[in-house]
Amino acid sequence: MKTTFAAATAIVALCATTPLSAQETGNVIFFHPDGTGVNHWLAARMHTVGPDGELNWDRLPAIGVYTGHMADRVTGTSHGGATVHAYGIKVLADSYGLNGTEPLTAASGRQMSVAQEAIEAGKAVALVQTGHIAEPGTGVFVASNESRSNTQEIAADVIESGAQVILAGGERFLLPAGIEGRHGPGEREDGVNLIERAEELGYTVVYDREELLALDTSTVDRVLGVFAHNHTFNDQERERNLIEGLPTYMEGAPTIGEMSRVALEIISRDEDGFFAVIEEEGTDNIANNMNAAGTLEALGRADAAVGEILGFMDGRDDTLLVMAADSDAGGLQVVNTDEGPVEATTRGGGILHGQQGAFGDAFETAPDANGNTHHFGIAWVGYNDVAGGILVRAAGLNSDRVEPLMDSTEVYSLMHDTLFGTPGQ
């Protein structure tokens, strides 16, 4: 008997709304490549593997169009969008684990984020971030505050959260003013040394790639990585980085892929399961500065992390990987250009920046299927985040529940249901 299109649609809708049974629960990895729309991945594909090549991101079988509007505006914010992912509720754009400044009850009916519920349930939780420790993409999963600018308060909440692995930059928010750290001076005004507090809580503290990769992940239980004074990257215009002699990413800091591999090796030992929130922040902040070459580097790092996660998941049937941004940083567009320097010009209201890339003044693609390379430039809408073409991608356990059109609140539902089964249980 043939199944009609209407019947098939009804079956898909039923599967998408039916609560998960205990047999369908497992671990969750939420990878947030902040600020990435489909055009960012197009540029990364061209630059990394060629116009018709395949990124690790392209290997994820599930795909849906993401709708990320907020309660009071059509474009997302990093802190408001992260709050939606963490709680499953449409909140005001200016929200950090709250609804504006008001208390928030999650879609599960509890006043905890999905990460806080995981910690309460005895699951291992990892917060992995290339930005500073209070960045909302990870921080909002364990901290609530009336302002994302209260970074010292948020940093303290993250350290006290119970997360088993915390990897980020932001040493400035962990040390008291007047105390010199590995990466620079502390700035805390309350005199609290959060690194010493972390050690009291049983964390092994590491400060660079070498120390992170030297950890024995088969025995270490709690790790705090402090890899930069602020972010692990320099998020300013490429010209400014060149003038100041600064690299895009700090040379001694681990990549997001290296952080992800170590974190997953540690938390996957937990018999009660695990939840990891992983964020490449450079794809957002660097693009917000219209730094095209730096954005391509950040995207390459994000895609390498996808490869690390897929390698970890190989042979496992108990883990979901779900990916989503919450906004499109800078509204990146790929434009054609002839070989040679690209002059900074305006076209159609956007700004085309010629950047000194790895292959010369103009960007050059990796070879296509015919062995040819092509030159291209990158145009921007501006310095802000826009709604853009954002996708939800997923692989592994319950990834078939990703729908063709998927709201930001449903990212939470997919994660929560996979971790706990029926919402609220």
- Can you read off the two tokens belonging to residue 199? 């050690």
Residue 17 burial class via C-beta count within 10 angstroms: exposed 0-12, middle 13-18, buried 19 and up: exposed
Separation of alpha carbons 59 and 396, rounded Å: 12
Q: How far is CA 363 from CA 334, 340, 372, in A?
A: 10, 9, 14
Q: Return the amino acid letter for 313.
A: M
Hey, what's the torsion of the CAs at 10, 11, 17, 19, to 10 degrees? 160
Query: What DSSP element (H or E) covers 70?
Result: none
Distance of CA 73 to the CA centre of its chain: 22
Q: Return the amino acid letter for 409.
A: T
326 marked among binding-site residues: yes
157 marked among binding-site residues: no
Separation of alpha carbons 361 and 307, rounded Å: 29
Q: Other CB atoms closer than 10 Å to residue 122's CB: what's the count?
A: 10
Catalytic residue among 21, 78, 108, 113: 78
Is 78 an annotated catalytic residue? yes
Q: Return the residue matching tokens 């449409």.
A: 90
417 marked among binding-site residues: no
Which residues, including other chains, have CB under 8 Å from residue 71's CB and lie 6 or more apart?
90, 91, 92, 93, 99
317 marked among binding-site residues: no
Distance of CA 322 to the CA centre of its chain: 11
The binding site comprises: 34, 279, 284, 326
The binding site for Zn(2+) comprises: 34, 284, 326
The binding site for Mg(2+) comprises: 34, 279
Catalytic residues: 78
